[in-house]
Amino acid sequence: MRHSMNGNQGSSCQFVADGGSNQQDLGSTYPAVSFQNKIESDKTSDFRKKFYSDVNDEDWNNWKWQIANRISTYEQISKFLTLKDEEKKAMDAETTHCPFAITPYYLSLIDLNDQNSALRKTMVPTVNELIKSKGESEDPLSEEMTSPVEGIVHRYPDRVLFLTTAFCSCYCRYCTRSHMVDGHTQTLKQHWESGIQYIREHEEIRDVIISGGDPLTLSDDEIAYLLNSICGIEHVDMVRIGTKVPMVLPQRITENLLNIFRRYKPLYLSIHCTHPDEITPESSRAINAIADAGVVMGSQTVLLKGVNDDDKTMADLMHKLLKVRIKPYYLFQCDPIVGSKHFRTTVAKGQEIIHSLRGFTSGYAVPQYVIDSPGGGGKVPILPNYYKGRDEDNLYIYNYEGKVYAYPDGKDMQ
Ligand code: SF4
């Protein structure tokens, strides 16, 4: 990978020059630093005492230690929990569509004695993944069809998705990109330059979403390089990073990384979150530090059967996100990837959940419920039915309590 500076002068997405000025500085100035200001939940503390009593705080709070010590085999996970038959068979199969890995920290959030724990369902494979159901496909969003160069997905007019890595610290069983998350990061890194060149050559691109895999598993140097290169392109107004790291690996949010974030404005983080159990003292500390660094955060949640598909769980998640300054952004209908039927709810369930939020709680707590159209059609918003009908003079609408109101929208308005 070539580390080069790009001119930032005149760029709309600004490099804030108070924290160092060149790419080479980053490598020498910022050694790997552990999670600062240690805060730990009782649950994680108990888990550590039981399973990691020989691991000191410095290692546990170091994101590189967490990645190096991921639980990724049947033998390893069996030391922590008793696998159900359906999980055991999936582990034995070795043909699951998505790799298995979980950080020790994230495993500490799972109730190991509860075979139906929500987070366990999202991380531990089951035989259901091996079943291909009607309408499912490896690449349901047809991202490959809208990829002009390797690593770039250009589906919408003014923005692109830049797939920079295929590595994640934990692998979600319902991942839309399960066909490509395989840990082979080099494959995508080889295409960074052509991706950046594509963005540079297309002046209509004003918004770049750095995604993967999880980009925050890249090194500080690599993240700074990507931000610097993309923010150096004059027509790019904003950069977003899609990540689940603050929830599964909050140790990654080091002062070094925050210093890099502080240099680029406006910078947005789209944070993938699934369940209220992810909002812990550790993740809260990390997320608040990101907010303090001037980064704007929105959430992305996939609606998952048996995980978060009830009104109370979803309201709890949205409220907890707001308390740590993440604006609930998208609630996604689960994409029909191969082996996802056991995770997918009906669309009516999603509408019901949105209906349970809208009006009953702050508007800020209501995400936009969308279906990402299979075949590459893009996101389509889905609402509960608030429309009753109309006549010559009025539009009739339901409010959140189901009462009907008239809005004057007659012919005389045309
Ligand atoms: S973190 Fe994102 S990219 Fe990684 S496995 Fe989960 S959903 Fe997929």
Read off the pLDDT of residues 87-101 as tens digits, 9 standing for 90 and up. Answer: 988 877 766 668 899
DSSP 208-235: EEEESS-GGGS-HHHHHHHHHHHHTSTT
For the cut 70, the answer to whether the pLDDT of residue 68 exceeds it is yes
Whole-angstrom Cα distance, residue 414 to residue 176?
44
Whole-angstrom Cα distance, residue 161 to residue 155?
8
For the cut 60, the answer to whether the pLDDT of residue 157 exceeds it is yes
Name the residue at shortest CA distance from atom 6 of ligand 1.
172
Q: Does 168 participate in catalysis according to the annotation? A: yes
Among 241-250, 338-347, 371-380, whose mean pLDDT is lowest?
371-380
The alpha carbon of 328 is separated from its chain's Cα centroid by a whole number of angstroms, namely 12
For the cut 90, the answer to whether the pLDDT of residue 315 exceeds it is yes
Looking at residue 20, its pLDDT comes to 34
Name the residue at shortest CA distance from atom 1 of ligand 1.
244
Average pLDDT score, the chain: 89
Whole-angstrom Cα distance, residue 343 to residue 353?
16
Q: Does 13 participate in catalysis according to the annotation? A: no
Q: What is the mean pLDDT of residues 311-334?
A: 98
Name the residue at shortest CA distance from atom 3 of ligand 1.
213
Among 9-18, 158-167, 271-280, whose mean pLDDT is lowest?
9-18
Superfamily of domain 136-381: Aldolase class I (3.20.20.70)
Which of 98, 170, 172, 334 is flagged as catalytic? 172
Whole-angstrom Cα distance, residue 304 to residue 338?
15
Q: CA dist 272 to 132, 246, 247, 327, Å? A: 25, 9, 8, 12
Amino acid at 161: L
Instruction: Using alpha carbons, select from 315, 243, 329 the residue that is nearest to residue 283.
Output: 243
Residue found under tokens 């409220």: 319
Q: Does 177 participate in catalysis according to the annotation? A: yes
Name the residue at shortest CA distance from atom 7 of ligand 1.
175
Ligand 1 binding pocket (C-beta < 6 A) is: 168, 171-172, 175, 177, 181, 212-214, 244, 272
For the cut 80, the answer to whether the pLDDT of residue 346 exceeds it is yes
What percentage of the chain carries pLDDT values higher than 90? 77
Looking at residue 94, its pLDDT comes to 61
For the cut 80, the answer to whether the pLDDT of residue 1 exceeds it is no
CA of 272 to the centre of ligand 1 (A): 8
Q: Give pLDDT tens digits for 113-151.
A: 999 999 999 999 999 998 999 999 888 888 778 899 999
Read off the pLDDT band of 26 (50, 70, 90). very low
Of the two residues 348 and 184, the one the predictor is more confident about is: 348
Report the atom number in ligand 1 closest to the C-alpha of 244. Answer: 1
Q: CA dist 320 to 168, 278, 295, 305, 367, Å? A: 24, 10, 18, 20, 13
For the cut 50, the answer to whether the pLDDT of residue 246 exceeds it is yes
Looking at residue 13, its pLDDT comes to 63
Q: What is the pTM of this model?
A: 0.90
Q: Would you state the structure tokens that stand for residue 406, as one six-digit string?
A: 């008239």
CA of 9 to the centre of ligand 1 (A): 35
For the cut 90, the answer to whether the pLDDT of residue 252 exceeds it is yes
Looking at residue 22, its pLDDT comes to 32
Q: Which residues, 6 or more positions from 243, have their beta carbon under 8 angstroms from its beta carbon?
A: 214, 215, 216, 269, 270, 271, 272
User: Considering Cα of 45, then 51, then 57, then 63, what sign does the dihedral take?
Assistant: negative
Q: Would you state the structure tokens that stand for residue 15, as one six-digit string?
A: 């490099």
E strand map for 244-307: 264-265, 267-272, 296-303
Classify 387 as helix, strand or coil.
Answer: strand
Which of 114, 156, 388, 405 is flagged as catalytic? 156
For the cut 50, the answer to whether the pLDDT of residue 3 exceeds it is no
User: Quick check: 211 and 163 in contact, CB under 8 A?
Assistant: yes
**Residue among 70, 164, 165, 168 to mutate when testing ligand 1 (max atoms within 8 A of CB):** 168
Q: Would you state the structure tokens that stand for residue 202, as one six-digit string?
A: 């297309």
CATH 3.20.20.70 domain extents, the chain: 136-381
Whole-angstrom Cα distance, residue 301 to residue 272?
6
Instruction: Using alpha carbons, select from 22, 59, 36, 66 the residue that is nearest to residue 257.
Output: 36
Looking at residue 16, its pLDDT comes to 57
Q: Does 252 participate in catalysis according to the annotation? A: no
Among 40-54, 128-142, 218-232, 319-333, whose mean pLDDT is lowest?
128-142
CA of 64 to the centre of ligand 1 (A): 18
What percentage of the chain carries pLDDT values higher than 70? 89
Query: What count of Cα atoms within 13 Å lies in the side-chain half-sphere of residue 86?
Result: 13
Q: What is the mean pLDDT of residues 184-190?
A: 79
CA of 8 to the centre of ligand 1 (A): 31
Looking at residue 260, its pLDDT comes to 97
Read off the pLDDT band of 350 (50, 70, 90). very high
DSSP-based helix, strand, coil % in the chain, nearest 5: 35, 20, 45
